[in-house]
Structure 1
Amino acid sequence: MKLPNPVLFSHQQVFHQQLLFCLRRGVLPRKKPELQQVLEHRMREQHKQSELALCPPSDMEVKLYARTENHAAGGYELEKKKRSERLQNIPEFVHVRGTLKRTQTFS
């Protein structure tokens, strides 16, 4: 057997070679390599996406999606705008009176 070069010798490289050897022989307990696990996970996700694309969304899902879009896009801003318009329609003296602090009068 050839002696390893101490400059090029790497413990990680030896460990990787041992793992590959054990995997080929089937010594490891039914554990797939990480790359194979990732590829299988991606294939499962693609399969789920294709199944979801085949069946149309239900009416409830469409309404929920529209509601969340409305809420996220501008429902809050629209409500805030309406509130500010209501405040603008109030006469100024009513608005000022509402902002004043309550003072006690002693008799």
Structure 2
Amino acid sequence: MLHFFLSDRHLCWMITPHQVIENQQQEEDDLIRPRKLINPILASAQRRALHQELLFCWRRGALPRRKPELQRVMEHRKREQLRKREQALRPPSDLQVKLHRRQQRIQFLEMEEKRRTERQKNLPEFVRVRQTLKHIQKVK
């Protein structure tokens, strides 16, 4: 049995690669090759016409069902005004009240700082230097 297997194996080595390729091609020719089916939606004339029209409109810059820019801006403004009116009618929440107070305090402090710097600019230089010297002497 072993001898038969060896001799069979020996025969396999005897077949040239060219013969193997020819056998494979012959087997492939005998088979029915599948073809890609035609998509009826892609092949329809209506779809092609619609696609062509959309491409034409897109190139021109006028897409269908698109509002003019002025109309869109006006609608956006109306929505914003309506939202602000509704928000004004509602009482402010605790968080909003605290944030508003903090904002007022910060603005007040900024105004005070601005006034102080304006006063410092209006003073002569020797007075400013003298004030800093007094401050330094107090620290020692």
Q: Specify if TM > 0.5.
A: no
TM-score, with normalisation over the residues of structure 1? Answer: 0.45
As a proportion of its length, which structure holds more helix? 2
In the superposition, the TM-score normalised over structure 2's length comes to: 0.35
* Structure whose alpha-carbon radius of gyration is higher: 2
